[in-house]
Structure 1
Amino acid sequence: MVDLALAPGRDGLVNAPGDTAGRVAGDIAVLGAGMHPWGKWGHRFVRYGAVAARAALADAGVDWRRVDSVVGANTVRGGYPGQVAGATFARALGWQGARVTSVYAACASGAQAIATARAQILAGQADVVLVVGADAAPKGFFAPAAGDRPDDPDWLRFRVLGATNPCYFGLFARRRMALYGETPEDFARVKVKNAAAGALNPYARYRRRVTAAEVAASPVVADPLRLLDICATSDGGAALVLSGLDFARRHGVARPVRIRAVSTGTPVHPRTALDLPDIATDQAPASGPREDTFRPSIARAAYEEAGTGPQELSFAEVYDLSTALELQWYEDIGLCPPGEAAKLLREGVTALGGRVPVNPSGGLASFGEAVPAQAIAQVCELTWQLRGAAGDRQVAGARVGISVNQGLFGHGSAVVAVR
């Protein structure tokens, strides 16, 4: 493994370089986790979120009236209710006076919601916080962003380059093939691994094992990636009941799963000619290439805050929008040096029963994207694994887990949980 936690701080780390390195903000407890199964159910997102929230409250043994705060992860497809998700879910559960917060960070919205809840708890503003995210996604791949948004780098990617998400995934896969000699057969192994885990997960949309031959026989979407290499879109919901450790003890939970770190940040790419000039100088400042890149910096910040590192991981939940992207995450979270991800996969290190299982939930390969719920669902899986309550997909002796993802407009996140 690569020891990301002990690496020295570098310029370009997320969230005020150098200011957060090694700082431990404080643990919070996960009292309850709940989900609505992923699929294509044809209902509004509110139903999925309310089901997940009630399941999390029941799991926590906490009455809804005891919740001090609701943090909702927004969905852009839900109209006005989706833009004020905290209030929307509070209303669906029955107004009871809780404070409400709504956050949006694309696919990292759920992690931003967890970070907000954690801040409220550690600041003494709330004892118990309910975090909820849910979505009702369109059929097929996500379409390019509508409207005129020239300041949005992802709008530019879609509209100027014509690089839709599958195109981006395909280019990323080609890059790994050129750099490291990976093959479509390696990418197919990721899908086979995740489908085997997802077949054991009652919340997954796709609960069937697949073979490498089935992946190879599926239609080409963005060469070299085929249909089964790319995750679908889904409806679904996820929720967590979070509290301070003192409340957990008073509630009778002596040894809860603890969230030890939440890292949210943005890329450190240099400015380009597409950027607006600096207001003060009327010039675009020169910036050289960074030694550190987006995803590793997110993981490093979480490890440093948690006081741990990849060498202590029991398992990981990573954002497998495509099979090739999962391999990239192995390197980014420090499981191996660059170029050795496929070797880990071939040796079974990241499969259920391996040394560090990756995506024991089945990942997005088995769930699909329900955008605001995804990062919350990852932490649900961390919780169940660390409790030893994941059933047939249980990682033996799980003690430390990390979840990581990335979202549009440069949002990224990592959560470290321990038991």
Structure 2
Amino acid sequence: MSVVVLGTGMHPWGKQGRPFLEYGVAAARDALRDAGVAWTDVQFVVGADTIRNGYPGFVAGASYARALGWSGARVASCYAACASGAQAVDVARTRILAGLCDVALVVGADSTPKGFFKPVGGDRPDDPDWLRFRLLGATNPAYFALYARRRMALHGTTTADFAAVKVKNALAGSLNPMARYRETVTAEQVLASPMVADPLRLMDICATSDGGAAVVLTSESFARRHGATGPLVRLAAVSTVTPTFPNTVLELPDFATDSCAAVPPQERPFRAAIAHAAYEEAGLGPEDVSLAEVYDLSTALELDWMEDVGLCAPGEADKLLREGATALGGRLPVNPSGGLASFGEAIPAQAIAQLCELTTQLRGRAGARQVPGARVGLAANQGLFGHGSALIATT
């Protein structure tokens, strides 16, 4: 049995200051319209949780079902930081594969505060996320900068390379009507923007945003019975693996990790393992990928993720960038949606938005940012504390 992405929907991202439910419901209705199914046809709703929007955000699945109109559909809600959307997709996909439903709706939306994210819930000295802010001063931009410095030391990457990532993604974002930032930028503008955490400047770091995204997933048999036309986009794999000790992710939120397990050591570092588990499930490899949506919280992290997901060898991402291979029109476009550089972070919606982009590209409906002949799309991102995700969609 295959699971099909029958419909996608998004609410434009930005800072509109509206309740998250408005964004999620708009995206859901858009996805239902795209799929050609009625809300009452949906048997299962999964909401990716937002933890900054009160109790309705913690029970997002039920909140969306209520807002769309109680219909008897079953619901679930899940939170995994930036991987929330992918884990919500995985829950819905698994239920379809188990034969427990034919039609599922997955929704994620956020309404974010001004400025960079901070811990939620007050003082929590038993929480490593709180501790890294309080004890280390390691805000998100600070540890993005540590990664950037590490890359510069290991691979000779320059601030001009980081700026080139932003220029590339801004061009793609200028062609995406859902993106928050729709203007192109120059390398000179990036390098002249205010310093936030050396070597990263303001334009190197993604913003926080409001926004929403949704997908309608169905069994392939339902899609056929429903008369779906055009190429069907199949969700070939979803990976939500956790680290295997001792190859845990080198990231400050995990600085207190002291776990171990009696299992064989992992062959790959954690972030690489996320994507490679998806490749194994799909029966594909990095060489099959037509386009990739990766986790560009900063310009430097895009380069790291390209290597982690196997699109090139360690230290080779800069070369692909300089050659234009990862730009629109290149042989392997990375973040053709514009990425987080153009959207900003609306945490529960991010991975769902990535799947929306993969689906749009594989259907051949991306307009000016279309990747010619796209057949396989990969999306990857990572949340806190070992939450990771990768999705593979194919035609």
Judge conservation of contact 2:132–2:139 (CA < 8 Å) in 1.
yes
1:151 CA drift (Å): 4.4
> Take 2:314 and 2:57, find their aligned partners in 1: how far apart are those partners?
39
1:392 CA drift (Å): 0.5
Q: Which residue of 1 aligns with 2:113?
A: 138
Alignment partner of 1:410: what SS? coil
User: Which moves more between the two structures, 146-155 or 166-175?
Assistant: 146-155
Residues 374-409 of structure 1, C-alpha deviation per residue, up to 9 Å, x if partnerless?
A: 000000000000000001000000000000000122
Structure 1 vs Structure 2: percent identity of aligned residues?
70
**Residue 388, structure 1, aligned to residue 364, structure 2:** yes
Alignment partner of 1:408: what SS? coil
Residues 84-111 of structure 1, C-alpha deviation per residue, up to 9 Å, x if partnerless?
A: 0000000111111100100110110000
Q: Which residue of 1 aligns with 2:2?
A: 27
User: Which moves more between the two structures, 214-223 or 140-149?
Assistant: 140-149
Judge conservation of contact 2:155–2:315 (CA < 8 Å) in 1.
yes
Q: Which residue of the other structure, out of 286, 298, 301, is the alignment partner of 2:277? A: 301
Q: Which residue of 2 aligns with 1:108?
A: 83
Pair 160,28 (structure 1): closer, same or farther in 2 beyond 3 Å: same
Residues 298-353 of structure 1, C-alpha deviation per residue, up to 9 Å, x if partnerless?
A: 00000000000110110000010000000001101111110111000000010000
Judge conservation of contact 2:128–2:256 (CA < 8 Å) in 1.
no
> Take 2:388 and 2:262, find their aligned partners in 1: how far apart are those partners?
25
Alignment partner of 2:297: what SS? coil
**Residue 164, structure 1, aligned to residue 139, structure 2:** yes
> Take 1:275 and 1:371, find their aligned partners in 2: how far apart are those partners?
24
**Residue 123, structure 1, aligned to residue 98, structure 2:** yes
1:267 CA drift (Å): 2.5
Judge conservation of contact 1:166–1:221 (CA < 8 Å) in 2.
yes
> Take 1:149 and 1:256, find their aligned partners in 2: how far apart are those partners?
47
**How high is the TM-score relative to the length of structure 1?**
0.89
Q: Which residue of the other structure, out of 148, 152, 155, is the alignment partner of 1:180? A: 155
**Residue 365, structure 1, aligned to residue 357, structure 2:** no
> Take 1:316 and 1:93, find their aligned partners in 2: how far apart are those partners?
32
Pair 119,217 (structure 1): closer, same or farther in 2 beyond 3 Å: same
Q: Which runs of 5+ in 2 are unaligned?
A: 249-253
Q: Which residue of the other structure, out of 160, 166, 169, is the alignment partner of 1:191? A: 166
Pair 399,43 (structure 1): closer, same or farther in 2 beyond 3 Å: same
Structure 1 consecutive aligned stretches of length 4 or more whose deviation exceeds 6 Å: 284-289
**Residue 267, structure 1, aligned to residue 256, structure 2:** no
Q: Which residue of the other structure, out of 29, 43, 46, is the alignment partner of 1:68? A: 43
1:156 CA drift (Å): 2.7
Alignment partner of 2:9: what SS? strand
**How high is the TM-score relative to the length of structure 2?**
0.95
Residues 55-98 of structure 1, C-alpha deviation per residue, up to 9 Å, x if partnerless?
A: 00000000111100100000001111001000000011111110
Q: Which residue of 1 aligns with 2:293?
A: 317
Alignment partner of 2:72: what SS? coil
1:27 CA drift (Å): 2.6
Q: Which residue of 2 aligns with 1:237?
A: 212
1:289 CA drift (Å): 8.0
> Take 2:63 and 2:84, find their aligned partners in 1: how far apart are those partners?
16
**Residue 399, structure 1, aligned to residue 375, structure 2:** yes
User: Which moves more between the two structures, 129-138 or 141-150?
Assistant: 141-150
Q: Which residue of the other structure, out of 312, 326, 348, is the alignment partner of 1:336? A: 312
> Take 2:120 and 2:266, find their aligned partners in 1: how far apart are those partners?
29
Q: Which residue of 2 aligns with 1:326?
A: 302
1:153 CA drift (Å): 3.2
Judge conservation of contact 1:152–1:409 (CA < 8 Å) in 2.
no
Alignment partner of 1:403: what SS? strand
Q: Which residue of 2 aligns with 1:354?
A: 330
> Take 2:221 and 2:20, find their aligned partners in 1: how far apart are those partners?
33
Alignment partner of 1:328: what SS? helix
> Take 1:152 and 1:292, find their aligned partners in 2: how far apart are those partners?
27
> Take 1:151 and 1:352, find their aligned partners in 2: how far apart are those partners?
45
Q: Which runs of 5+ in 1 are unaligned?
A: 1-25, 279-283
**Residue 345, structure 1, aligned to residue 345, structure 2:** no
2:115 aligned partner, one-letter code: G
> Take 1:341 and 1:44, find their aligned partners in 2: how far apart are those partners?
39
> Take 1:80 and 1:388, find their aligned partners in 2: how far apart are those partners?
39
CA RMSD of aligned residues (A): 1.9
Pair 289,120 (structure 1): closer, same or farther in 2 beyond 3 Å: closer
> Take 1:414 and 1:352, find their aligned partners in 2: how far apart are those partners?
22
1:405 aligned partner, one-letter code: N
Alignment partner of 1:401: what SS? strand
Q: Any residues of structure 2 matched to 1:195-210 within 5 Å, and which?
A: 195-210=170-185
Alignment partner of 1:389: what SS? coil
1:162 CA drift (Å): 1.2
